[in-house]
Amino acid sequence: MRRLGGVLAALVLLMGTAAACSDGGAKGASGRATTTTEVPVPIAFTVTSFDVETAAPPVAGAVEGARAGVEATMKRWLDEDVLPPLRSAQPAGDLRPLFTAVTGEHVVTTADRAAFVTEGLPPVTGLSAKLATLAVIGLADPDGQIPIVAVHLELELQGTAEGTPLIVVHTGDLVLVPEAEGWKIDSYDIRATRDTPAGTTTTTARS
């Protein structure tokens, strides 16, 4: 009890000292500018459907595994390659990990890259998603595995750049296949439309 009483007494003393310091410091701090950091609005895809065309009933866990893998790949694209360049005005990273080897090399070495990322804009504030959906169809083979899925993508982002409303839309179809590192985009037919302070531009890409 003596030890607890001593701790409480010390806390009271510290609180009194802190209050005195706060009172004295408030006058000196008056008039100083404060900086507010915007907290990003969470943006994520919603899977509106996950249908499976079957040559044989899927084995246990096949549907759940495919869905989780596809969602992880699409989340990575959104979180690492779509949103950061818009919020920071910095270039997107390496897109190749999202794709199969041949497809990824084609994307990063051709104009198709611009259909997957939006770069070169001022930082976008108040970024939010008006629409972010995935509609998925998987194909189960005779062994009950799911070796391929088709994804229809709808993503509409909105925000403000230098005080002007901005809209970025990605829409199209992707084909994903499983590899050791996860599900990869193997082919695509995608379009990106940007309504920016500089005007409206559209980029299409197909493999």
> What are the residue boundaries of the structural domains of the chain, listed by start?
46-206
Question: C-alpha angle 40/162/33, rounded to 5°?
Answer: 70
pLDDT in tens, 51-90: 999 888 899 999 999 999 999 999 999 999 999 999 999 9
Q: Domain 46-206 is in which class?
A: alpha beta
pLDDT in tens, 132-187: 999 999 999 999 999 999 999 999 999 999 888 999 999 999 999 999 999 999 99
Coil/strand/helix, residue 27: helix
pTM reported for the whole predicted model? 0.78
Q: Is 7 exposed, middle or buried (0-12, 13-18, 19+ CB in 10 A)?
A: exposed
Q: Are 189 and 180 spatial neighbours (Cβ–Cβ below 8 Å)?
A: no
Segments in the chain forming alpha helices (H): 2-29, 62-76, 83-88, 101-109
CA pseudo-torsion sign 104, 109, 111, 114: positive
Measured CA distances, 52 to 34, 150, 190, 194 (Å): 54, 10, 22, 33
